[in-house]
Amino acid sequence: MNTRIETFRRDGDHCDDPDHDHSGGRCSLVVQMITEYLEGALPDDKRERFERHLAACPPCVRFFDQLRAVSAIAPLLRCADVPPAVEERVLRFLQDKTA
Amino acid sequence: MSTHGRFSTDTPEGQATLVAALKMRDREAFVALVRAYTGWVWQLAFRILKDEQHAEEVVQTVFLAAWEKIDDLNAQGVGLTSWIRRVAVNAALMRLRSASRRREDLVESPGDLLPAFTDDGHWAESVPEWSRPAEELIGAREVIEAVEAAVEELPEGERAVFILREVEHLSTKEVADSLGLQEGAVRTRLHRARLFLRKRLADVVDGGARDGNDVRASVDEGEGSATRRPGRVTVGEVQP
């Protein structure tokens, strides 16, 4: 995870990206690229442009943080315990099927 | 995974020995395989299916396939664990598709998951700071329960990708291999899953009232109803 983003401003409602009129600086495109960024799939030029935009756009940083929170919670999702008799039932099933 | 009898699945060498024995139709090897992988396969299937009986049937399918098709393993150029995972995920997805989920429930198009923007690409509405900091949210029981419920609402494509990538911690490439997708398609599905779950999380954190970036809801109470009922909103099919 790129810790540089942790230092970006999160307060405020305005995008101050001076290149906003150019396609690479649009909030709408940056939002679509968040997962590509988090997965390390952006080429260097797009990654740098992405980070420049976040440095100037608190709303995008907040949205970015919220998507990251989803990922942080995911490993905590619980799973039911395996019923104790499953293994023996499966072995009996396979014994019958493969005899 | 573990050691059973004379077989170990903890190392690549141990797995190779096990596979060689399976190809010789060694019953002891087969039992070792079942004992080593049943719990893992069951939990993987359960995460996707949320049904104990169906998860057990996936386990049966996986090991029956292992007995009948183990000769295909090396030809596919993947290891034993990856091969079992692929068979398990495919079996789970096939079962999910044949379940009672109605097509008409899947009403949201991919675009509906994106927040609203103005024509020049600015946010149409504010992105509110959540009322609780992320570190507080992450361990909160109601938050975990909400995300678990929301994961169940995801279409099978997004659900499988999300579980494999975010819960099972596979790499993007491993997820792609498991599901027979391109890596770009995996990232597309993962992004859609994250967008949907973020919206659900916002509903829990702030009641959704301040979140202007709404995901359009479908409600099962007939057309025109304005009542929003968490647990009934679903997202559309994936366009890889």
Question: Are A82 and B129 an interchain contact pair (Cβ–Cβ within 8 Å)?
Answer: no
- A90/B13 Cα distance (integer angstroms): 26
| B8: helix, strand or coil | strand
| CB A57, CB A17: distance < 8 Å | yes
**Rounded to two decimals, what is the model's pTM?**
0.79
Contacts of B197 in chain A (CB under 8 A): 70
Q: Which range is least confidently modeled, A56-60, B70-74, B215-219?
A: B215-219
Residue-wise pLDDT tens digits, A24-75? 678 999 999 999 999 999 999 999 999 999 999 999 999 999 999 999 999 9
Inter-chain touch A82–B39, beta carbons under 8 Å = yes
**B193/chain A closest Cα distance in angstroms:** 9
CB proximity under 8 Å: A 70-99 to B:
70-80, 82-83, 86-87, 89-91, 93-94, 97-98
The residues that bridge with B123 in the sheet, in sequence order, are B117
Query: What region does B143 belong to: left with phi over 0, alpha with psi -120 to 50, or beta?
Result: alpha
User: Which chain B residues are closer than 8 Å to A68 by Cβ?
Assistant: 134
Side chain identity, residue B230: P
Q: Which domain holds residue A44?
A: 3-98
Alpha-carbon span B106 to B153, nearest angstrom:
10
| Cβ pairs A/B, distance under 8 A | 147
Eight-state DSSP code of residue B7: E
Residue B117 confidence class, pLDDT cut points 50, 70, 90: confident
Query: Nearest by CB to A77, which of B127, B151, B191?
Result: B151
**Residue B122 confidence (pLDDT):** 86
Sign of the Cα pseudo-torsion (A23, B199, A58, A9, in order): negative
Contact between residue A69 and residue B139 where contact means Cβ atoms under 8 Å apart: no
Burial class (CB in 10 A: 0-12, 13-18, 19+), B70: buried
A74–B144 CB contact, under 8 Å:
no
Instruction: Please name every residue paired with B3 in a beta bridge, in sequence order, or none if there are none.
Output: B8
pLDDT, position B237 = 33
Three-state SS annotation for B24-38: CCCHHHHHHHHHHHH
Sign of CA dihedral B130, B133, B134, B138: negative
Which chain B residues are within 8 Å of A32, Cβ to Cβ?
A: 114, 191
CA distances from B196 to B22, B122, B182 (A): 43, 20, 22
Cα(B188)–Cα(B237) distance, rounded to whole angstroms?
Answer: 12
Instruction: Report the distance separating Cα A51 and Cα B108, nearest Å.
Output: 31
Confidence of residue B135 (pLDDT cuts 50, 70, 90): confident
Q: Tell me, what's the ipTM?
A: 0.89
B194 neighbourhood in chain A, CB within 8 Å: 34-35, 67, 70-71
Number of domains into which chain A is organized: 1
Residue of B35, B122, B172 to mutate for A, most A C-beta atoms under 10 A: B122
Q: With contacts defined as CB-CB under 8 Å, which chain A residues touch B151?
A: 77
B225-234 burial string, b = 16+ CB within 10 Å, else e? Answer: eeeeeeeebb
- Whose structure tokens read 């970006």? A8
Strand partners of residue B7:
B4
Backbone angles phi, psi at B158, to 5 degrees: -70, -40
Please give the residue that has the higher pLDDT: either B225 or B18: B18
Residues B63, A90: C-beta atoms closer than 8 Å: yes
**Residue B2, burial from CB neighbour count under 10 angstroms (0-12, 13-18, 19+):** middle
